[in-house]
Structure 1
Amino acid sequence: MICTKITHKITASTRRLIYGYNSRVLHDKALYRSSTEPIIFTRHFCHSMTTLTDTVRYPIGPWVDKGTYSADLVQRLVERISILPEEYQTVADRCSDEDLRRQYRAGSWTVQQLFHHVADTHLMHFMRLKNALSTPEPTIGVIADVNAWAALDEAQTAPIQSSVTMLRGTHQRIAYLAGHLTPDQLDITYFHPPRQRNLSLAQALDIIVWHAEHHLGHIRLAMSL
């Protein structure tokens, strides 16, 4: 384990990123002047593998399997699935043409590409759920090269509102489907190609929520929200 003293001059827009640093905090000092002015921020961290770069790559942290998915947890996941498109809409309403070209880190997808990626992949999530429910012993999910998709001119130029509308409809369908699944159906598994593992439908719902929040975090970082 490495202990490090880190001093930052950060703005309000990046403050959330620093506080979200995944480490054990031993000491914390900050000089606050206002909610918008920069802060001189000093922390002593004891950390192992996590870095500030990791917190940009994973603004809400990597997905963590909850192990047991109770009925209450599944219900909360369904509620988040229903609400998340409106959070995307709120951010989309604030996007300028300049914002659409912003990146959350060097070499990353742009805000515009992120909106389209989430809409595209969540449609695939929905298809995987339906395939798992309708196909005996499903062995493979829907496969796509998301980087190649993001490189298409369509993904770099199409209006983001089309993807927000698409995401809203997809999430409505997912939430309706998930809200009517039995406990046995939630335990049905299928092979998830990107993660190279079997997932239960309950785990898949969890990943849908995580993935939407994960990329919404990227968009907010890029736009300094």
Structure 2
Amino acid sequence: MQDLENLRYPLGNFDFGQSFSLAESKQHIATIGALPAKLTELVGEWGDDRLDTPYRPEGWTVRQLVHHLADSHMNGYVRTKLALTEENPTIKPYDEGAWADLPDSRLAVAPSLVILESLHQRWVAVLDALDLAGLKRTFHHPGSDRMFTLAEQAAHYAWHGEHHYQHIFGLAERNGWGSRYE
């Protein structure tokens, strides 16, 4: 079995505090845009046995990961819009672990896949229209007591989506789930 740290962070940790060029930000935005179709292709036809499998020991199930992505990315989208319409707003953090235990985390994944598809379409439209000045707009996160630029946020959410995708993809590989139709 792989070591627990590699299972938890298949891409490594995200490095906060970086700045990004417009070209790098455009790539991050494209990555955000590609996630819903990629995730749906991987898990869209999976049954409960796969969806209710934790991606690592004591980790969330695939079902919880998919719902978490919808929850987290909805918050990211709202933070983007706040940063574009207010001067350095203080955002509202949320307890992602508590959210992952609410009753909607036990639903089929289809509603969250639909949310991600629609949400990312809107989010990418907003982000993709930004120039470098727009990507430098900020919000304050009271949990870390620091400001984030929208460029850094786009990089983080590109990483976040791929991070959880790799959790699920790695689980599928370890279990020999080579095709969603098996």
TM-score, with length taken from structure 1: 0.72
SS in 2 for 1:91: helix
**Aligned residues of 1:191 and 1:199 also touching (Cα < 8 A):** yes
- Per the alignment, residue 32 of structure 1 pairs with none
Deviation string 1:116-174 (CA, Å, 9 cap, x unpaired) is: 00001101000001011111231x21321111111112202x11011011011111111
1:115 equivalent to 2:66? Answer: yes
Aligned match of 1:191 in 136, 140, 146?
140
Percent identity over paired residues = 30
- Once the two structures are superposed, the pairs formed by residues 133-148 of structure 1 within 5 Å of their partners are 133-138=84-89, 140-148=90-98
SS in 1 for 2:10: coil
State the structure with bigger RCO (CA 8 A, min sep 6), 1 or 2.
Answer: 2
How many residue pairs align between the two structures? 174
- Tell me which amino acid in the other structure corresponds to 1:152: L
Higher helix share: 2
Relative to structure 1, is the Cα distance of residues 195 and 168 closer, same or farther in structure 2, using a 3 angstrom cutoff? farther
Q: Which runs of 5+ in 1 are unaligned?
A: 1-9, 11-17, 19-51
- Per the alignment, residue 151 of structure 1 pairs with 101
Deviation string 1:12-58 (CA, Å, 9 cap, x unpaired) is: xxxxxx6xxxxxxxxxxxxxxxxxxxxxxxxxxxxxxxxx3211110
- Tell me which amino acid in the other structure corresponds to 2:94: A
* Larger-Rg structure: 1
**Aligned residues of 1:192 and 1:198 also touching (Cα < 8 A):** yes
Deviation string 1:88-111 (CA, Å, 9 cap, x unpaired) is: 111123422100110122211111
- Once the two structures are superposed, the pairs formed by residues 175-186 of structure 1 within 5 Å of their partners are 175-186=124-135
1:215 equivalent to 2:135? Answer: no
Higher strand share: 1
Aligned match of 2:152 in 203, 209, 213?
203
1:80 equivalent to 2:31? Answer: yes
- Once the two structures are superposed, the pairs formed by residues 10-159 of structure 1 within 5 Å of their partners are 52-65=3-16, 67-138=18-89, 140-156=90-106, 158-159=107-108
- Tell me which amino acid in the other structure corresponds to 2:140: F
With 61-70 and 177-186 compared, the bigger mean Cα shift is at 61-70
**Alignment RMSD (CA, Å):** 1.8
**Aligned residues of 2:135 and 2:150 also touching (Cα < 8 A):** yes
Q: CA deviation at 1:209?
A: 0.5
SS in 1 for 2:100: helix
CA–CA separation in structure 2 for the residues paired with 1:155 and 1:53: 24
- Tell me which amino acid in the other structure corresponds to 2:4: T
CA–CA separation in structure 2 for the residues paired with 1:131 and 1:173: 14
Q: CA deviation at 1:71?
A: 1.5
SS in 2 for 1:55: helix
- Tell me which amino acid in the other structure corresponds to 1:78: I
Q: Which runs of 5+ in 2 are unaligned?
A: 178-182
TM-score, with length taken from structure 2: 0.88
CA–CA separation in structure 2 for the residues paired with 1:171 and 1:81: 7
